[in-house]
A and B are shown apart, each in its own frame.
Chain A
Amino acid sequence: MTFWQVVQHSWGPLMDGLQVTIQLTLLSIVFGLALGLILALGKVYGLKPIRWFCTAFIEIIRGTPLLVQIFIFYFGLPPYGIRLSPLEAAVLAFSVNSGAYQAEYLRGAIQSIPSGQMQAALSMGMTRWQGIISIIMPQALRRVIPPWTNEFIYLLKYTSLAYIIGTQELMAQARFVASRNYEYFHTYLFAALIYLVVVLVFSEMFSWLERRVKIPGFEYHK
């Protein structure tokens, strides 16, 4: 089979797989963002035990391979009566993993806001919480867009790992197709192209978003 024939044959299943991949990515990035926000705020503003806990959590997750985390959620929990579907286990593992990374990006962004901003907020009678919500976070979130974009792309690519526990995403579908048509190179090449296109499309989307919310004084250099 030529490459184009392979493309025609595998289009259907691979597109199904792509859908799951994107679903997996979006769910995980959103849950991860929620977790990341909590961890980052805890690490920067929390009391000592909370700060310590958040730091330890982030370091442990960042220090261990994603694959092992996926195995823990999928194979490690059933003996304790927690049985997750492959998709659930994958979303959970990716969310926790991404949450730890996003927390670090957010923390960096929060700490890059000069301390005078909080002082000014307090001095006009805001509470600390008001200062965080209406002064610090709007600035930190703008700063975090570029690393966050990277994180999104990473996550998108890492979701390919989910095939190992049987999540029917792009990688799993490619394997399935290849195992039937024996066109390993062409099928995986096609899968690679799909990833490439999706990554480029998302990168463009994010840089568009970045330009939209840009305000003077918050320009980034590449």
Chain B
Amino acid sequence: MNKEKGSVLRIEDLHKSFGDNHVLRGVSLEIKRGETKILIGPSGTGKSTLLTCINMLTPPDSGKIWLLNDEITASRKVNLLRQKIGFVFQDFSLFNHLTALGNVSIGLTKVKGMDRKKAREKAMEELKQVGLGDKASSYPAQLSGGQKQRVAIARALAMDPQLILFDEPTSALDPELIGEVLTVMKKLANQGMTMLVVSHEMGFARSVADEVIFMEGGIIVEQGPPAQLFSNPRVERTGEFLSRLSSLFGEEDEK
């Protein structure tokens, strides 16, 4: 793989097994600055594992990962590199004992060593960015799922990451709450944030993704711009999966 300029994340031949289960069988991909890539594929094909490998929550068996010029897989200070990678979880994983503001500022104070007052100001800005300035003093238990996920996004943003990974950010949400989260994500994409998103929201993929990646059985089967991949997949499996997906989710408007 060539070391092109502007590449934020580069993965080379990543492998990961859990016992006998060979989850990732040689995945390579690259994301450039400002790009948004969407990862789709049947469940159990290693999409989430791929994301957790990128920030080393799951250490890969072999293969290399670079963030900018640092090789994550060779780094001894993984926690320093993790600061540069935002992660948004499917189940939000907000810190339950902290308010929305506390959730967003704790990384700034504890990890980046920012002083409390500055951290609170910055956290407040991030909350406003996701439209939750008025919920700053609410605890997670007092927020709706959509609001929780927006706080989680603000928490990731506050660390000024180079890249944000989203692990099915809307799949735990009630349908009527999905929109507010996608809107925030769209806004981020338009502002030039680099993002890798596991999601089956086809409308979202079509409107913001630079590229859609179809994964199955631990490998990347096909990748390409959404328009091409959705309307004219080169690989048969991709087409099958997409048609199953759209029948499952009802009428996904085909342009």
Contact = CB atoms under 8 A, between A and B. Distances in A.
Direct A–B contact in the complex, CB atoms closer than 8 angstroms: yes
A124 B86 CA distance: 7
B93 A134 contact: no
Interface residues on B, range: 20 to 34
A74 to B, nearest CB: 42
Contacts of A124: 82-83, 86-87, 107, 111, 155-156, 159
A119 interface: yes
B93 A114 contact: yes
Contacts of A139: 95-97
Given A124-B82, A124-B87, A215 B159 contact: no
Residue picked from B57, B81, B86, most chain A C-beta under 10 Å: B57
B83 A116 contact: no
B111 A120 contact: no
A8 B155 CA distance: 64
B228 interface: no
Contact of B87 (A123, A134, A215): A123
B95 A125 contact: no
B95 A120 contact: yes
A216 interface: yes
Interface residues of A, number: 22
B235 interface: no
Contacts of A123: 55, 57, 82, 85-87
B110 A122 contact: no
B163 to A, nearest CB: 12
Interface string B93-123: 1111100000000110011000000000000
B104 to A, nearest CB: 10
Contacts of B171: none
Interface in B60-110: 79-83, 85-87, 89, 91, 93-97, 106-107, 110
B123 to A, nearest CB: 13
B97 A218 contact: yes
B57 A216 contact: no
A126 B79 contact: yes
A77 B76 CA distance: 48
A48 to B, nearest CB: 19
Contacts, number: 77
Interface stretch (B3-11, B36-44, B137-145, B214-222): B137-145
A125 B111 contact: yes
Given A124-B159, A125-B83, A126-B110, A119 B141 contact: no
A117 B106 CA distance: 13
Contact of A120 (B93, B139, B159): B93
A138 B156 CA distance: 21
Nearest to A139: B97
A130 interface: yes
Interface in A183-222: 215-218
A122 B139 contact: no
A216 B95 contact: no
Interface string B121-153: 000000000000000001111100000000000
A127 interface: yes
Given A117-B93, A139-B97, A217-B139, A122 B82 contact: yes
A119 to B, nearest CB: 6
A120 B87 contact: yes
Interface string B141-185: 110000000000001100100000000000000000000000000
**Which 7 A/B pairs are nearest by Cβ-Cβ distance?**
A217-B141, A125-B83, A116-B93, A123-B87, A120-B93, A216-B139, A216-B141
